[in-house]
Amino acid sequence: MSEINTARKNWYLVYAKPRQESVAQTNLARQGYEIYLPLIRQPRKRLGRRVAVIAPMFPRYLFIHLDSETDNWSPIRSTLGVVSIVRFGQVPARVPDELIALLHRHEDAQGLQLLPVDEFRHGAKVRLTDGPMMGYEGIYLAKTSKDRVIVLLDILGRRSRAVVDAAYLEPAG
């Protein structure tokens, strides 16, 4: 691809059908379009257990890199999984290159977005949502590593410190 052609390309937003972002991505890529679908790992409950699932960072939206003068835009809206290109009035919504670059910089080795973990303050009330102590409430004490924290739990009338996975915490009411 020439420098001139790349310089004219911009990122735009594609609106996908519900839960069909991957379908839209695959079918647009098959047609030769450059597509970007940022993904994140999210905790979800399935059958009473908390599991990590990979999901689109922006549900129903993906990015497409197009040249407004030379690329054929007409097949995009009839592509399987696609509803339309997002527009403001009659003008397609242009996404700044800096945003795409920022999203790429925040990806891990698997291409998943690294989101900052919700930080709890020392002394905050927390509840464990998974693991052997699921359902217990305690007090947040400190962070020990990237994924682990120390909480103070009331177990059988005694206060005990426990090191738990940070993903298993939620604020307690």
Average pLDDT over residues 28-53: 86
Average pLDDT over residues 116-122: 70
Coil, strand or helix: which one is 4?
A: helix
Confidence at residue 5, expressed as pLDDT on a 0 to 100 scale:
54
pLDDT digits (tens, 9 = 90+) for 140-150: 998 887 778 89
**Segments in the chain forming alpha helices (H):** 3-8, 21-30, 97-105
Average pLDDT over residues 59-87: 94
Average pLDDT over residues 73-99: 94
pLDDT digits (tens, 9 = 90+) for 152-168: 998 888 888 999 888 78
Structural domains in the chain plus CATH codes: 3-105 (3.30.70.940), 125-171 (2.30.30.30)
pLDDT digits (tens, 9 = 90+) for 2-40: 444 556 899 999 999 999 999 999 999 999 999 999 998
Statement: residue 96 has pLDDT above 50: yes
- Structure confidence at residue 1 as a pLDDT band (50, 70, 90): very low
Q: Which amino acid is at 144?
A: T
Statement: residue 91 has pLDDT above 90: yes
Concatenated DSSP letters of 110-145: TSBB-PPPPPPPTT-EEEE-SSTTTT-EEEEEEE-S
- Tokens read off for 109: 């080795």
- Please give the Cα distance from 65 to 39 (Å, whole number): 18
Residues 6+ apart with CB under 8 A from 22: 37, 81
pTM of the model: 0.65
